Structure 1
Amino acid sequence: MFDAKIRPRIDPPLNALGRGLAARGVSANQVTLVGLALGLLAALLIAQGAPGLALLPLLLSRLADGVDGAVARAGRPSDFGGYLDIVCDFVFYGAVPLGFVALAPATHGLAGAFLLCSFYANGASFLGYAVLAEKRQMKTDARGVKTLYFTGGLLEGAETIGFFVLLCLWPAGFVPLAYVFGTLCFVTALSRVLLAARVFAD
């Protein structure tokens, strides 16, 4: 919901940082993998009972996720780079809830499964739409220049990062927060399905 609105504010500093890294020979794929490693470290810290400490690697991971595209644009973007980026994003988005489930499986298990199921549905609606948009040669840069077609929705990257930060600051609220956010993810997925039914109707 907020991604398109914040892109004009965050893109200039990200692009400047990306150009600097590219000039030093850093590749976009390297930044992507560093971001994934930081995200997995955050998930591990959460699972070990230190969600507060997980905040720093979590936020640095998302910074890397923004910078990798800027590095690619400063050099030579590749389809594989875009593919690697989205795969690493989905691994990160699954790892953080898994960390909270591992932290307290007896109390967090069902809510965590509900949340991950909602992520699965939301991801399927997003990627399926992107495939059909590519088939029809649809283009958009509302959320920055991307390898895949990014559709809007009630919940996007900014909201998910905010949700993860809230979980780290208030881990005791995981169960109700997971149910609320998961429900909104299902609503987002349904809205994309309805949009696809209108846009891709034969």
Structure 2
Amino acid sequence: MLDGAVRRRLEPILNRLGIALANRGVSADAVTISGLCLGLAAAFLISWQYYLAGAVLILVSRLCDGLDGAVARASRKTDFGGFLDIVLDFVFYGAIPFAFIIADPGANGLAGGLLLFSFYVNGSSFLAYAIMAEKRAMTSEVRGAKSLYFTTGLAEATETIAFFLASCLFPGWFPMLAVIFAFLCLYTALSRVVLAGQTFRDRH
């Protein structure tokens, strides 16, 4: 929901940084992989209850997630780069809730499990829609130039990062926050199913 507004504010800065990195020979794939490594390091710290340090690494990791596209635009965009970006994003988004479960299984296990379930459903709806859109040669730049067809929703990257950061700042609230965010993700998936029903009903 907030991704569009955030992208408009950050894109000029990210583009300048992307050009600078590309001019120094840094590849977009290297930035993508660096972002995942930082995200996994954040998950490791969270699992040991170093929540504030984990929050800092989450922010740096997501900076890399924005930078890889800027580097690609400044150098060379590839289908593999787009594939790698989405796969490693999903790894990151699964690792952080799992880290909270490890940090306190008794308090966080049930809510964390529900959250991971909602991520699975939401991610499946997103990818399935993108596949059908590609089959019909549909295009959209509502979230900028992307390798896949992006559908908007109530729970997008900005909301997810905000949830992760809030959980790091107030770890005792994780179960409540996770349940709320899980239902936001399930609502987003349901709205995408409704949209797919309206878009893909006819034979193609």
TM-score, with length taken from structure 2: 0.98
Q: Provide the rounded CA distance (Å) in 1 between the counterparts of 2:41 and 2:144.
A: 27
2:165 is matched with which residue?
A: 165
TM-score, with length taken from structure 1: 0.99
Q: Supply the RMSD in Å over aligned alpha carbons.
A: 0.6
2:179 is matched with which residue?
A: 179
* Cα offset, 1:5, TM superposition: 2.1
Task: Decide which moves more: 116-125 or 6-15.
Answer: 6-15
* Cα offset, 1:194, TM superposition: 0.3
Task: Decide which moves more: 189-198 or 139-148.
Answer: 139-148
Query: Gaps spanning 5+ residues in structure 2: where?
Result: none
* Cα offset, 1:20, TM superposition: 0.4
Query: Gaps spanning 5+ residues in structure 1: where?
Result: none
* Cα offset, 1:55, TM superposition: 1.2
Residue aligned with 1:155, SS: coil
Give aligned pairs, total.
202
Q: Provide the rounded CA distance (Å) in 1 between the counterparts of 2:111 and 2:7.
A: 32
Structure 2 counterpart of 1:179, one-letter code: V
Structure 2 counterpart of 1:158, one-letter code: T
1:123 is matched with which residue?
A: 123
| Percent identity of paired positions between Structure 1 and Structure 2 | 56
Where do 1:1-16 residues align within 5 Å? 1-16=1-16
Q: Which runs of 4+ in 1 moved over 6 A?
A: none
The Cα offsets for residues 27-60 of structure 1, whole Å up to 9 and x where unpaired, read as 0000000000000000000001111111111100
Structure 1 counterpart of 2:182, one-letter code: G
1:68 aligns with 2:68: yes
Q: Provide the rounded CA distance (Å) in 1 between the counterparts of 2:13 and 2:26.
A: 17
* Cα offset, 1:106, TM superposition: 1.5
